[in-house]
Amino acid sequence: MTDMTVIAASGAQLPESFAGRHLIDGAWLDSADGASFERISPSHRVVVSRSAKGGEAEVLAAIAAARAAFDQGDWPMLAGKDRAALLNRVADLIDRDRERIALIEVLESGKPIAQARGEIEGAADLWRYAAALARTVHGDSHNSLGPDMLGVVLKEPIGVASIITPWNFPFLIVSQKLPFALAAGCTAVVKPSEMTPSTTVILGELLIEAGLPAGVVNIVLGYGDPVGAIMSSDPRVDMVSFTGSTAVGKRIVAAASATLKKVSLELGGKNPQVIFPDADLDAAADAIAFGVYFNAGECCNSGSRIIVHQDVAEDLLDRVAKLSAKVPFGDPLNEATQVGAIISDAHLQKIDGYVQQAKADGARVLTGGEALAVPGLGGQFYGPTVVAGVTPDMAIAREEVFGPVLSVLTFRDEDEAIRLANGAAYGLSAGVWSRDIHTCLNFARKVQAGTVWTNTWMDGFAEMPFGGVKESGLGRELGRYGLEEYLEVKTVQMRVARGRSPWVNDG
């Protein structure tokens, strides 16, 4: 489409391809069978990285190392103060290496450089926040159980955590999990997505530089099968923390059930934003554009489902369509770019399939709706797209498109708006736009979502818990709850002062 704002290739110098190896028990290793895989940049079509491809031998060795570090190592019992010091050192190293990490993140994921920098900066903040939490781990005491009884509730690290992450925010998402697991005293095996392995490897380098003992964090590169599958089923693993698709999340629950592991899941979303007629439409339109085009819509939090009051629908859509044409997309290495490449060609086909199906079902494409070439780049891009006239039964209204595609539904009254908002299998996040606080509060209380935004979208803080209800997940990350996920409760009951009265009368 000619009316889009396309940023052509900037001709920036690309780095040498990154060589990634597994981190197992403090050593960087290739796979025993020599297998490896390549990641081709979705924007520049160059080989960004060559990584060792993990098999059964690597996963089993990594789990054994994490188990030994937990059972025999110092980490679980180390003072919170010392764990905090190490996490803070990691945060400083992340800041030091921000440019290097951001560049690889851009080339592996296709996201714009400015957003990658923001992601790395946000990740460093999470390491610092978790460091602060490491000094707050404490349980409870019960001094009212009777004259000769004292009860103590201990909080203990849960053990070995398997951490499996997706490709859309590779560095941020591992940082929503790993520092919290470490703050709690857990040891870990980490598997990044096969699409974006390299920034997790860099994180491993920084952990070693910061002084983390061998075996506390192990990284295995490779695919869901066999690496992720073994990490989810091996009896030596106590917990699986997973972010990714709902389909894989369900497989992980099944794999973990044989040994009843704790499972924490951050899954997909079909997040509604409801716009009431009294809303500030300019502010809403901008947040809608941000919500659906940020990270090319490849966000679990994508505000991909707009439910707008019929009286203001045309006005709002007009504003959103105009903004859509202005969003600069194209070369992710250009500082001005706000929408980069789509992660893979297969994923682009899937996105387009939803749009074409919606058209065939009677929806109207107001803007975008097709793959676009960016001059000078061979990668895959999809234009910012608005699809109006969507009805709740259409796939585009119910399923996660995970691309820069907005679906627009309309409502007549508040009850219908809430019914539509809750009419999805997902329940990750939701938003409401109104100048009336009562409308906002009523929506916030009735909507089925882990996070609700009122008159804003996708703000996030280390302090605020994040997670989903329904098929969007189990458990919470961030905030105090993000630490609690990695802690187990132990009850200690102590008889003090006087002895027990005998149960058996022995005369």
Per-position x/- string for 436-475, each x denoting binding to ligand NAD as judged by CB under 6 A, each - no binding: --------------------------------x----x--
List of residues 6+ apart from 14 with CB closer than 8 A: 44, 46, 107
251 binds ligand NAD per the rule CB under 6 A:
yes
Looking up tokens 């993000």 gives: 482
Q: Which long-range contacts (CB under 8 A, 24 or more apart) does 318-324 make?
A: 319/281, 319/282, 319/285, 320/285, 320/288, 320/289, 320/386, 320/406, 321/366, 321/367, 321/386, 323/285, 323/286, 323/289, 324/289, 324/293, 324/367, 324/368, 324/384, 324/385, 324/386, 324/406
266 binds ligand NAD per the rule CB under 6 A:
yes
Report in angstroms the alpha-carbon separations of 70 from 107, 121, 139, 188, 293.
Answer: 35, 30, 20, 9, 42
Q: Quickly list H helices, 339-456.
A: 345-360, 395-398, 414-421, 437-446
> Which 153-172 residues touch ligand NAD, going by CB under 6 A?
164-168
* Chain Cα centroid distance, residue 415: 31
List of residues 6+ apart from 23 with CB closer than 8 A: 29, 201, 204, 208, 217, 218, 219
428 binds ligand NAD per the rule CB under 6 A:
yes
Closest to ligand NAD by CB, 67 vs 251, is: 251
Closest to ligand NAD by CB, 180 vs 411, is: 180
Three-class SS state of 262? strand
Of the candidates 248, 323, 351, 374, which one interacts with ligand NAD according to CB under 6 A? 248
Q: Look up 300 and say whether it is catalytic.
A: yes
Closest to ligand NAD by CB, 268 vs 330, is: 268
358 binds ligand NAD per the rule CB under 6 A:
no
CB of 265 to ligand NAD, least distance (A): 8
User: Considering only 25-33, 260-268, 356-364, 498-506, which stretch makes contact with ligand NAD by CB under 6 A?
Assistant: 260-268
CB of 431 to ligand NAD, least distance (A): 16
245 binds ligand NAD per the rule CB under 6 A:
yes
229 binds ligand NAD per the rule CB under 6 A:
yes
CA 115-172-120 angle, to 5 degrees, is: 50
Three-class SS state of 312? coil
Per-position x/- string for 389-418, each x denoting binding to ligand NAD as judged by CB under 6 A, each - no binding: -----------x-x----------------
CA 328-332-335 angle, to 5 degrees, is: 70
332 binds ligand NAD per the rule CB under 6 A:
no
Active site residue: 58, 119, 194, 266, which one? Answer: 266
Per-position x/- string for 181-210, each x denoting binding to ligand NAD as judged by CB under 6 A, each - no binding: ----------x-xx----------------
Q: Look up 266 and say whether it is catalytic.
A: yes
Q: Are 394 and 363 in contact (CB under 8 A)?
A: yes
CB of 303 to ligand NAD, least distance (A): 13
Closest to ligand NAD by CB, 249 vs 332, is: 249
Residues forming a β-bridge with 306: 273, 408
Active site residue: 186, 299, 300, 440, which one? Answer: 300
Closest to ligand NAD by CB, 379 vs 427, is: 427
Q: Are 36 and 58 in contact (CB under 8 A)?
A: no
Catalytic residue annotation: 266, 300
Interacting residue ranges for ligand NAD, rule: CB under 6 A? 164-168, 173, 191, 193-194, 223-225, 228-229, 232, 243-245, 248, 251-252, 266-269, 300, 400, 402, 428, 468, 473
